[in-house]
Amino acid sequence: MERLLGLESSAPRTRTRSAALALGFAVLFALAFLAGRATRVPPAQLALAWPAAGVVILWLLVARSSLERLVACVVVIVVSGVLNQLTGTEPLGAWLFGLVNLSHGAVGAALLHRWRPAWLRSTWTTLGDVGVLLAVAAAAAATSGLLGSLVAWWRFDEPFLEGLLIIGFRNVVSSFVVLNALLALPKLWRTRRERGAECPLTMAAALAVTGVLLWLPWPVDFAIVPIVVVVALRCGAQATSVLVALQGVLVVAATVAGNGQFASLDDPQARVVAAQAFVLVLAVVGVVLATLEDARDAALVQSRRDRDQLQDHMEAALLASAHVVVDPDGFVHVDAVNTALVTLTRRPRHALLGVDPRDWFVDDDVEAFRQGICELTLGRALGWRTQLRLDDAWGGGWVDVALALVDPDLDPSLSLGGSGASSAAITLQMIDVTAQKEAEQALAHAALHDDLTGLANRALWADSLERAAQGVGSERSALAVMFIDVDRFKQVNDGRGHAVGDAVLVELAERLSALVGDGATVARLGGDEFVVLCTSAGTREELAAEAQRIMDRLSEPVVLQDGAAVSVTVSIGIAAADEQAEAPLLLRHADQALYAAKDRGRGRAEFYDPTVHAGIESSARLLVDLERAQASGEFSLVFQPIVDVATGYLHAVEALLRWDHPIRGQLRPGDFMPVLEVSDLMHQVGDGVLRAACAHAASLAAQGTPVPVHVNVSAVELGRAGLVARVLSVLDEVGLPPSMLVLEITETQLLDVTGGLVVDLFALRDHGVRIAVDDFGTGYSTLAHLVDLPVDVVKLDGSFVARMTHSRRARSVCAGVVAMAQGIGIDVVAEGVETAEQQTALESLGYRLLQGYHLGRPAPAAPPTAGVGAQGRG
């Protein structure tokens, strides 16, 4: 409060400050006291106004220490007693009225300290603050009115009740008006430069007009009220408070001088009440109206500041951003955009404002965007995100779209006035992901299609077969596979060269695709092998006729660019599925039928005959053998090294399952896993593999050779409940740290990683277990899976490694995978490294971790951690 009086000191609470404070307020109180005594209305001794009531409250409010408050109390009593005696009051009554003044100030200051302690640093800003000030004035006046009327009744024989009402009402008005003005003066002084000359001139004009109206002989005093209203609307609450106090001085002065409409009242008490009531009306009307106007102006300023800040943030953002408003009637429009959005849509800013953002997207994606808006406006979500396509008229391409609901409390402009309804504000952000989408599509196409012919490759065809087989039972549709092989194609390559052989294969692929049409899927499995998946196969006779048509067309001479012709024949194996067909076995059946066709002379088609192949392919018998193998302990593990070629040292090992069949010898998973995976036996074998692999790694670690172990997890095991508990239990049982275990899942299984399985994988990763994606590049998962799932390692499929030294496209895929992995911060392993040439090519692309026969064959025990030697570096 030192700033209020200009007494701020560099050494607070010093005697100099206290003395200056006491002297300043003593003088102010004495002047206010004398001014009040000068407003007495003859023949009574009752004063019209008592400005000292407001001064004493402020004095006690400002006093910081007990000493300062004690000095203030003593000075108030002494000044009151002395000045009362000097102005004609009998001695005892004079000093008693000093106590009355002190009680008034003490009550007012105590209440203000309790209800609004921050008023010493700032003024009121709401009607609630004005109400508090009026209530404090009333409470203080009630105290001083009661005590003052008692003194007047005892010492001067004045009627007690009349004294109580008149003194109390007078002190309410004086306290409220004077305290308002004194609290407003500091802020008014600090903001004088901001206000300029308009406000002082307006106040001076208002005072001049007020003086003229009060001294006119006609009853026009209430014309002062509109003057107060004008000042309140133009100058604010602080200026209005000071003006009302000055107008109150003029009203009291005119009434004492016998001017104004209140001077005509014969009863002195009536004059006091009327004059004070008029001043109170001026004060309440002016201060309340000015406070409301200030609050409205502040809200508008804050709204503009928030909008400007929103625009600044949007302009500063690198993302294309827009501020979207949804009206209560459902109308959606854009009211602000940033420069990045202008660039993205290639439209001028004015063309983007006021439009419905749904118009920006292609017709197929409009509904998705509308659903996102609805999710937010209906309160179902606070944010929404997806990828949509922009219409060519609005820039075109793919964009990642994010919507977020704006808190209405942070955007006051959303209020729709008195209707009670409100708009919804939404922040729209878009990122151009066209290049990413094209890269994903190119990578997916390269991973799922044959480099030479453009046909589907083994991975895509196998997936198509699996999906088709799932619909056999439900749709009762006919499903058949034709396995096609070019007879003696090696002779073409050896005699004419590989370029001619490739040209022949391309022509055969085109003919085959044209023959089967859209109702079948054609794929090249490799070399001179093609397969056709017929999802609408007819009878056996119809399939035989279709196979004959294919053989006739493909046996027609292939004319080369140089005019030479090459003639070939093909053999076809056909396998038709029934309602119990198993997709993994269908291709094998067709393959065995193909071998039968070749054995019977080539250039012919043969159907799979289950009676001929029952002894080999009976899945039931194979399952029985598998159960016996599990009980007899015929399953074993071999470990293949994963080498860090930058250092030449072992990085990890992969545990591989083998079946030591007593008759057929050691079998790999491809020979039995399709049957094993569809049986309950898979759970026992999977648990055993995990436990044995972890135990072996723990044994190596105990011998001082800690080597992480990779363990493959089948789709059946992934979908089994309790995955996290089983893995952690095995690790705890064998004493292997979780960081030494890497679980491998194939890329095609990524599509099934949803819901609870995502939670399980994140839980395993949180415990330290790492996750690897095996056979990467053979499935068609999007890059988003690598970002959204806890993937630590990707393993490039060996098919790309095998072709990279003679296929530019395969080499590009290898380069793209390692660049992607490095970009998102995960490890990458290249599988199937068979030659030194492949190793050198991979190292040149940035591959450090390699796996394959060239670096080490699978062995029953993990290799040592010494350098890989000549074989690994050759």
> Which residues, in sequence order, are bridge partners of residue 570?
486
pLDDT at 10: 46
- Which of 848, 834, 761, 832 is closest to 798 using CA atoms? 832
Three-state DSSP class for residue 665: strand
pLDDT digits (tens, 9 = 90+) for 389-407: 999 999 899 999 999 888 6
91 CB-near residues (< 8 Å, 6+ apart): 81, 85
The share of the chain scoring above pLDDT 90, in percent, equals 22
Separation between Cα atoms, residue 271 and residue 583, nearest integer Å: 109
- Residue 573 binned pLDDT confidence (cut-offs 50, 70, 90): very high
Q: What is the mean pLDDT of the chain?
A: 81
Three-state DSSP class for residue 703: coil
pLDDT at 313: 60
pLDDT at 690: 93
Separation between Cα atoms, residue 645 and residue 642, nearest integer Å: 9
Q: Greatest CA span in the chain, whole angstroms?
A: 145
pLDDT at 618: 59
pLDDT at 746: 81
- Model pTM? 0.38
pLDDT at 407: 66
- Which of 554, 438, 546, 567 is closest to 496 using CA atoms? 567
- E strand segments, 501-622: 520-526, 529-534, 558-559, 565-566, 570-577, 605-607
Q: Is 417 exposed, middle or buried (0-12, 13-18, 19+ CB in 10 A)?
A: exposed
**pLDDT higher for 718 or 509?**
509
- Using the predicted structure, report yes or no on whether residue 251 has a pLDDT greater than 90: no
Q: Where do the H-state alpha helices sit in 707-846?
A: 715-719, 723-734, 756-766, 783-788, 798-803, 808-824, 836-845
- Using the predicted structure, report yes or no on whether residue 615 has a pLDDT greater than 70: no
- Which of 523, 518, 491 is closest to 508 using CA atoms? 523
pLDDT digits (tens, 9 = 90+) for 747-781: 667 666 667 788 888 899 999 999 998 888 776 55
- Which of 178, 176, 173 is closest to 130 using CA atoms? 176
pLDDT at 842: 92
- Which of 421, 422, 375, 424 is closest to 402 using CA atoms? 375
Helix/strand/coil (H, E, C) string of 748-759?
HHHHHCCCHHHH
pLDDT at 413: 42
Separation between Cα atoms, residue 789 and residue 777, nearest integer Å: 17
- Using the predicted structure, report yes or no on whether residue 76 has a pLDDT greater than 90: no
Give mean pLDDT, residues 194-200. Answer: 75
- Residue 611 binned pLDDT confidence (cut-offs 50, 70, 90): low
pLDDT at 577: 78
- Which of 652, 633, 765 is closest to 708 using CA atoms? 652
- Using the predicted structure, report yes or no on whether residue 99 has a pLDDT greater than 70: yes
54-58, 94-98, 753-757, 824-828, range with greatest mean pLDDT = 824-828
CA atoms within 13 A of residue 373's CA, in its CB half-sphere: 24
pLDDT digits (tens, 9 = 90+) for 260-318: 777 777 776 677 778 778 888 888 887 788 777 777 777 777 767 766 666 556 555 56
The secondary structure of the chain in percent helix, strand, coil, rounded to multiples of 5, reads 60, 15, 25
pLDDT at 830: 93
**pLDDT higher for 217 or 743?**
743
Give mean pLDDT, residues 647-671. Answer: 89
Do the bridges between strand 709-712 and strand 665-667 make them parallel or antiparallel, or are there none, so unpaired? unpaired
- Which of 786, 792, 747 is closest to 765 using CA atoms? 792
Peptide linkage before 43 cis (omega within 30 of 0): yes
pLDDT digits (tens, 9 = 90+) for 122-166: 555 677 777 888 888 888 888 888 888 888 788 777 777 777 777
**pLDDT higher for 621 or 322?**
322
- Residue 711 binned pLDDT confidence (cut-offs 50, 70, 90): very high
CB 234, CB 202: distance < 8 Å: yes
pLDDT at 232: 78
- Residue 586 binned pLDDT confidence (cut-offs 50, 70, 90): confident
Q: Where do the H-state alpha helices sit in 346-433?
A: 349-352, 363-377
**Two structure tokens written together for 791:** 């993937």
211-215, 440-444, 521-525, range with greatest mean pLDDT = 521-525
Separation between Cα atoms, residue 13 and residue 53, nearest integer Å: 26
Task: Look up residue 261 and give its DSSP letter.
Answer: T
- Residue 531 binned pLDDT confidence (cut-offs 50, 70, 90): very high
Do the bridges between strand 320-326 and strand 332-337 make them parallel or antiparallel, or are there none, so unpaired? antiparallel
- Residue 613 binned pLDDT confidence (cut-offs 50, 70, 90): low
pLDDT at 358: 92
- Using the predicted structure, report yes or no on whether residue 12 has a pLDDT greater than 60: no
pLDDT at 278: 81
Give mean pLDDT, residues 350-368. Answer: 91
Give mean pLDDT, residues 231-239. Answer: 79
pLDDT at 848: 93
CB 833, CB 820: distance < 8 Å: no
pLDDT digits (tens, 9 = 90+) for 413-441: 443 333 344 678 898 989 888 888 888 88
Place of tokens 């909008």: 307
To 10 degrees, what angle do helices 458-470 and 434-448 make? 90
pLDDT at 422: 65
- Using the predicted structure, report yes or no on whether residue 827 has a pLDDT greater than 50: yes
CB 582, CB 678: distance < 8 Å: yes
- Which of 700, 719, 720 is closest to 708 using CA atoms? 700
pLDDT digits (tens, 9 = 90+) for 31-56: 888 888 887 766 656 677 788 888 88
pLDDT digits (tens, 9 = 90+) for 203-216: 888 888 888 887 77
Separation between Cα atoms, residue 583 and residue 480, nearest integer Å: 10
- Residue 708 binned pLDDT confidence (cut-offs 50, 70, 90): very high
- Using the predicted structure, report yes or no on whether residue 330 has a pLDDT greater than 90: no
